[in-house]
Amino acid sequence: MHRILKTAAIVLVTLPTAFAWSKAEDIEISTAQSRTLLEVVNTLSTKHYRTQPVNDDLSKSYFNNLLDNLDPSRSVFLEEDIKRFSKYETKFDDYLRRGEISPGYEIYNVYRQRLSDRLEKLLAQLQSSESNFDFSRNESIEIERDENTPWLKDIKEADEYWYKRLKSASLNLVLAGKTQEEAKETLIRRYTNQLKRIEQQDQQDVFESLVNSLTEIYDPHTSYFSPRTEENFNINMSLSLEGIGAVLQTEDEYTKVVRIVTAGPADKQGELKAADKIIGVGQGQNGEIVDVIGWRLEEVVDKIRGNKGSTVRLQVIPSDSTNESETKIIAIKRDKVKLEEQAAKSAVFEVDDGAEGKFKFGVIDVPAFYLDFEGYRRRDPDYKSTTNDVRKLLAELEQEGVDGIILDLRNNGGGSLSEATALTDLFIDTGPVVQIRETNQEISRRNRSRRKASYRGPLVVLINRLSASASEIFAGAIQDYNRGLIVGTQSFGKGTVQTLTSVHEGQLKITESKFYRVSGDSTQHRGVLPDIMMPQVIDPEAVGESTYDTALEWDQIHPVRHDKYIDFSQVLPALKELHDNRVTTDPDLRFIIDSYKLAQDNKDQKELSLNIETRKKEKADRELAVLNIENKRRAAKGEKPFENFEELKKSDDEEREEGDTSTEINTDDDALLQESGKILADFINLRNKTRTAANDQFGNGFQ
């Protein structure tokens, strides 16, 4: 489990930097901040969904969370610092109830001093004439230090650790193509910039960080916006509608990609992925790549944003890389995400089941649950919404005589709850769609399907780990009503609702309610589990609600009466067996499985060698493994294998440059969509053999 802080689409999180004041007593909470803190504490205590009184247990949680947020790798504080701070472990609740948080400032300032001293020492080492490293020595460094790692015992142990960390950073740059002198210059700029950022921090930054170390205890989606953050976050911290079309967050000293906005520039370019880490940003095709490790989130965002039509180059550590040296440069042409390109769209493709003949299926891609509120308020009969667009597409596909529908919700991060309800209404008759339980435990079932179904034919819903929130409500309802088959991988697990409330200075975004399916199961944390599991593409331990340390748990409430349309129990075992057989033989599905396994094997590495020849061999071994996986697929498809990794990489680059950047659905090259079609074909065949009017509540109504 890793600690994810705040996303660019939500609020800036404090970076692991420190503060420039010389004395802890110089930092005092203002009267306005004290009043704000009291309001935050009282609001969290009375209105948050998670009942959590302000007591010693909360104090301990706050103490540990503050230390983890400041020093997640346990590389700055010393053991003696933690022992000195421990006197506050059960005292924070007393301070918070008084609107006071002075121990937090004290801890912050010790951290600031430790980090400032360390950065200055690193710069002194780099500026020394004897600073060249010997990369022929057999040394190694821990890849990941977390809350289970012991604190550094003393300065001597800290010096030894940071020597290796500095050497590792230098080796990463050398392996990326720099000389030792060039690597040294890059690191001097990096650490000098971090020192400057320490000096730029102010009291408002400190206060916001201290308060958010409290809000995170309640759940990861609850956060405090300072007045400055409240004013700027829509413009300066979100790339979702302008720029490259990506939502970013700060994690440790990196800027991490949370998700890619469908139909945005990054999505069309195709290389940037969720969980990639951005470590450098360059302007245009030839501009210098500026190192952004340790930068504040909004500063990285400012570098990435730019004029429409211009190019930004991102240096990233791919999510499946094992270390910082395995980077790549991604060039993306900036543009504004066109909302019309995010609209639902459809395509038709054929599936040959090899026995009964060909089926013609319609696929509807739903990238978001959107609603034109202004058009809706004006009572415009043609107002834009997910449901209206899908209704039209369904009618068109039925006119084309399709045998079934695949609704593709992959990468759909959610949106309007009313649209999730209305979309469900197109596929089921009247009945409840979702239950919502409030902080006071009252349960609302007002979100209902109110009309007869518009489409009554065979249905498959395709989801993945990035299908979240409203997508999970829809998929959960379809599954609970036995209206269609859910295929793909486990969804995100975002099953909570947040509201904004004003406090004396700024705003508090607070979780006040939780979604439950009509079956009584929560969509929170666990998400929706498919009826038929597809091969994993996204690592669920890197992306998803369960990766948040303080995510609300999965639970159940009473189910609500609802219809069951199709008896899948008779055909599911056979469907799974047919699917499993294809997974073992289909070259494209095997490629997905082999690629995922390779990434997981790399992730299991605990230590990183600081020997340059060892690292080169490890890189060559990984490239050979990637080449073998690709050639295995090509051989199975009767295609000529690549002779070496360079040939494979060149082919990928050429294919990307020549690729179609339109937002049309590519049915031919999407192995998971093709497999969804085969599952739907199997279902129709099996059901035609076993169906009687008694099998389905609606008899022949659902075909």
Active site members: 469, 480, 494
**Beta carbons within 10 angstroms of residue 176's beta carbon:** 18
Task: Determine the Cα–Cα distance for residues 696 and 35; give it in Å rounded to an integer.
Answer: 61
Angle made by CA atoms 161, 167, 171, in degrees to the nearest 5: 145
Task: Determine the Cα–Cα distance for residues 74 and 119; give it in Å rounded to an integer.
Answer: 16
Cα 342 off chain centre by: 19
**Beta carbons within 10 angstroms of residue 196's beta carbon:** 11
CB 312, CB 265: distance < 8 Å: no
Type of residue numbered 69: N
- Per-residue tokens: 137: 């020595």
Across-strand partners of 385?
A: 371
Residue 661 dihedral angles phi and psi, to the nearest 5°: -95, 10
Buried/exposed 52-63: b ≥16 CB within 10 Å, e otherwise: eebeeebbebbb
Task: Determine the Cα–Cα distance for residues 346 and 144; give it in Å rounded to an integer.
Answer: 44
CB contact set of 387 (below 8 Å; sequence gap of 6+): 419, 422, 423, 425, 426
3-state per-residue secondary structure call for 443-462: EECCCEECCCCCCCCCEEEE
**Beta carbons within 10 angstroms of residue 540's beta carbon:** 17
For the residues of 582-615, what is the DSSP string, one character each? HHHH-HHHHHHHHHHHHHHHHHT--EEE--HHHH
Task: Determine the Cα–Cα distance for residues 119 and 166; give it in Å rounded to an integer.
Answer: 11
Helix (H) / strand (E) element for 223: namely strand 223-225
The residue to which tokens 């004041």 are assigned:
21
Helix (H) / strand (E) element for 291: namely strand 290-291
Cα 234 off chain centre by: 19
For the residues of 237-290, what is the DSSP string, one character each? S-BSSEES-EEEEEETTEEEEEEEPTTSHHHHH----TT-EEEEEEETTTS--E
End-to-end, the C-alpha distance of the chain in Å comes to: 44
Task: Determine the Cα–Cα distance for residues 226 and 508; give it in Å rounded to an integer.
Answer: 9
Task: Determine the Cα–Cα distance for residues 497 and 468; give it in Å rounded to an integer.
Answer: 12
